[in-house]
């Protein structure tokens, strides 16, 4: 039932009404709304019960194991939320001057400095509001760098075929064309193809490392050499930073510009689709182009760097500087972990992924890259199962939901047929991983003995499988009053 269907004409949540105000008789009549907007007329209890009920139709980290590859669904510590929501933090107006926000800015400056240290970059701006937004800032900085040198012939961004879709989409938004390069049999960037692709037209390369295939690029030094020798810059997509925190830093790998996903690596919540935060880090030569604002410290006082401070900046990313509440959550997390805790993140994310891969392989599942060390995630391919039983990776994923596990990422990366990209994260216990292995085995057994059961899954969720085709063909995007 929709909230609108609970409505009764004239009902309202009376406690939420402000004191009666004078009519707006100073406004011209034709400026005013003639018919009230079709918002629901419901009581406060109606609202609380309806949305509490809806929440219970969601899988979430707090309720289920959520091994969604490339998404780093780790526990979101509750203290990060409660401290970011301290009343003074919530009440502060974004245009209040820096004097009235020294405590807040001190937290943000600390986070900014910690992110520099963790990534090995020369400078950081936390202005971008999501990973893709950080990518945009990063590629815009690459463009600003080439433009400032009068190097306008560099029109192409190179992207491996295993990359997230945001990489090519971002390159297009920045006015670049995209060239995809293939991945070799072991899951690495094809170095010969890269060498053949670069030239005076190359603006840069965007790379995720460890890659979306769940393996570290052992040729990273050579990749850097090839791109830099051709005059291009290198971009590090931080989607998988969780795998290497405190072990190896993007700056030390030679990247010119990076973004981080604080809603992955720094455990801020995904919120059913955001908000995230996508800070960018740069090497010294890209520092002038950083997006604004970022936090400046001057003799122990903090303020935002604005247009006048950085005339070569690629500009503002948002009206008010970014997703501050997300940054505060990341600050709390970073302070609780400290340097040793961050390194443990990578250690145990990697331990969990390799253990789960080993146990699944032992249980008869086929790993896409069995000869490789898994990073924080790995790929199982169900190609043979599909051939034998007709059960696809999608069917398999839907049946896992019935067993109380969120499905791994399916059909990404596209290179591996019938793939499940599995990322357990460091916050899951061995016992949870073992339970997941048992569920995987049980679903496979069902696929072999009663494939229809799996192909028509899920069976135990609030709805059965949804008709996506109908959703797209017969668009129904909004409830309309009868």
Partner 1 sequence: MPFIPHTQADIDAMLASIGAPSLDALFDEIPAELMCAGLPGLPDGLSEMAVTRLAQERAGRDGHYTCFVGAGAYEHHIPAAVWQIVTRGEFYSAYTPYQAEASQGTLQLLYEFQSMMVGLTGLDIANASLYDGATALAEAVLMAVRADKAGRRRVLVPASVHPRYVAVARATVRHQGIELVSVPWCPQHGHTRVETLDALAASGAAALVVPQPNFFGVLEPVDALVDWAHAQGMLAIAVVNPLALALLRPPGEWGGRGADICVGDGQPLGVPLSSGGPYFGFMTARQALARQMPGRIVGRTVDFDGRPGYALTLQAREQHIRRSKATSNICTNQGLLVTAATIHMALLGPQGLKDVALASHANTRALGERLAAIDGVQRVFAAPFFHELVLRLSAPVDDVLRALRAQGILGGYALARDYPGLADCLLVCATETRSEQDIDTYAQQLARILSRRREAPPCAYKS
The least distance separating partner 1 from the CB of residue 256, rounded to whole angstroms, comes to 16
Q: Which of 116, 169, 115 shows the shortest CA–CA distance to 139?
A: 169
List C-alpha distances in Å: 224 to 146, 175, 286: 17, 23, 16
Cβ(260)–Cβ(251) below 8 Å: no
Which residues in 192-211 contact partner 1 (CB under 8 A)?
none
> In whole angstroms, what is the distance from residue 58 CA to residue 272 CA?
9
126 Cβ contact partners less than 8 Å away, ≥ 6 residues apart: 108, 111, 112, 115, 277, 279, 294, 295, 322, 327
User: Contact between 482 and partner 1 (CB under 8 A)?
Assistant: no
> In whole angstroms, what is the distance from residue 357 CA to residue 425 CA?
13
User: Contact between 8 and partner 1 (CB under 8 A)?
Assistant: no
User: Contact between 216 and partner 1 (CB under 8 A)?
Assistant: yes
Single out the residue of 298, 340, 364, 482 in contact with partner 1 (rule: CB under 8 A).
340
Single out the residue of 16, 185, 298, 482 in contact with partner 1 (rule: CB under 8 A).
16
User: Contact between 95 and partner 1 (CB under 8 A)?
Assistant: yes
User: Contact between 138 and partner 1 (CB under 8 A)?
Assistant: no
Biggest alpha carbon–alpha carbon distance for the chain: 76
User: Contact between 126 and partner 1 (CB under 8 A)?
Assistant: no
Single out the residue of 241, 258, 314, 454 in contact with partner 1 (rule: CB under 8 A).
314
User: Contact between 143 and partner 1 (CB under 8 A)?
Assistant: yes
Torsion angle, CA of 472/169/278/299, rounded to 10 degrees?
Answer: -140
User: Contact between 220 and partner 1 (CB under 8 A)?
Assistant: yes
Strands annotated E in 278-418: 280-282, 295-298, 301-304, 366-367, 378-381, 409-410
174 or 368: whose CB is closer to partner 1? 174
User: Contact between 40 and partner 1 (CB under 8 A)?
Assistant: yes
User: Contact between 42 and partner 1 (CB under 8 A)?
Assistant: yes
Single out the residue of 228, 287, 344, 383 in contact with partner 1 (rule: CB under 8 A).
344
Pairing between β-strand 177-181 and β-strand 156-160 as defined by DSSP bridges: parallel
User: Contact between 272 and partner 1 (CB under 8 A)?
Assistant: yes
Single out the residue of 190, 191, 275, 451 in contact with partner 1 (rule: CB under 8 A).
275
198 or 326: whose CB is closer to partner 1? 326
295 or 385: whose CB is closer to partner 1? 295
User: Contact between 396 and partner 1 (CB under 8 A)?
Assistant: no
User: Contact between 326 and partner 1 (CB under 8 A)?
Assistant: yes
User: Contact between 185 and partner 1 (CB under 8 A)?
Assistant: no
85 or 192: whose CB is closer to partner 1? 85
Our measurement of the distance from residue 391's CA atom to the centroid of its chain's CA atoms, rounded to an integer in Å, reads: 29
């Amino acid at each position: 039932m929709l909230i609108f269907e609970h409505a009764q004409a004239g009902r309202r949540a009376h406690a939420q009404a402000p004191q009666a105000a004078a009519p707006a008789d100073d406004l011209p009549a034709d400026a005013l709304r003639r018919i009230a907007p079709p918002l629901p007329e419901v009581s406060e209890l109606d609202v609380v019960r309806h949305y509490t009920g809806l929440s219970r139709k969601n899988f979430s980290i707090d309720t289920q194991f959520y091994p969604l590859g490339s998404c780093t669904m780790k526990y979101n510590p509750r203290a990060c939320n409660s401290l970011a929501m301290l009343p003074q933090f919530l009440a502060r107006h974004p245009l209040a001057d820096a004097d009235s926000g020294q405590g807040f800015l001190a937290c943000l400056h600390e986070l900014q400095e910690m992110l520099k240290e963790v990534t090995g970059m020369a400078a950081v701006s936390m202005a971008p509001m999501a990973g893709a937004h950080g990518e945009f800032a990063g590629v815009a900085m690459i463009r600003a760098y080439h433009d400032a040198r009068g190097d306008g012939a560099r029109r192409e961004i190179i992207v491996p075929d295993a990359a997230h879709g945001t990489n090519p989409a971002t390159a297009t938004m920045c006015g670049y064309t995209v060239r995809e390069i293939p991945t070799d049999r072991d899951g690495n960037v094809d170095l010969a193809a890269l060498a053949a692709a670069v030239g005076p037209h190359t603006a840069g390369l965007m790379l995720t490392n460890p890659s979306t295939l769940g393996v570290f690029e052992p040729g990273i030094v050579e990749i850097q050499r090839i791109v830099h020798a051709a005059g291009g810059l290198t971009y590090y997509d931080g989607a998988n930073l969780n795998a290497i925190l405190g072990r190896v830093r993007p700056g030390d790998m030679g990247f010119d510009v990076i973004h981080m996903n604080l809603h992955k690596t720094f455990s801020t919540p995904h919120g059913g689709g955001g908000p995230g935060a996508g800070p960018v880090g740069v090497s010294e030569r890209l520092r002038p182009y950083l997006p604004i604002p970022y936090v400046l410290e001057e003799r122990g006082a903090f303020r935002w760097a604005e247009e006048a401070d950085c005339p070569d900046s690629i500009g503002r990313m948002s009206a008010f500087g970014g997703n501050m509440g997300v940054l505060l959550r990341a600050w709390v997390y970073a302070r609780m972990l400290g340097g040793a805790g961050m390194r443990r993140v990578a250690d145990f994310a990697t331990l969990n992924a390799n253990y789960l891969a080993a146990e699944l392989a032992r249980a008869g599942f086929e790993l896409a890259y069995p000869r490789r060390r898994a990073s924080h995630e790995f790929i199982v391919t169900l190609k043979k199962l599909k051939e034998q039983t007709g059960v696809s990776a999608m069917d398999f994923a839907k049946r896992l939901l019935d067993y109380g596990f969120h499905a791994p990422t399916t059909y990404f990366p596209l290179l591996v047929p019938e793939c499940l990209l599995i990322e357990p994260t460091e916050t899951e216990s061995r016992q949870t991983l073992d339970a997941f292995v048992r569920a995987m085995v049980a679903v496979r057994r069902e696929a072999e003995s009663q494939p229809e059961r799996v192909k028509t899954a899920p069976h135990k969720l609030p709805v059965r499988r949804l008709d996506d085709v109908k959703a797209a063909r017969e668009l129904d995007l909004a409830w309309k009053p009868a």
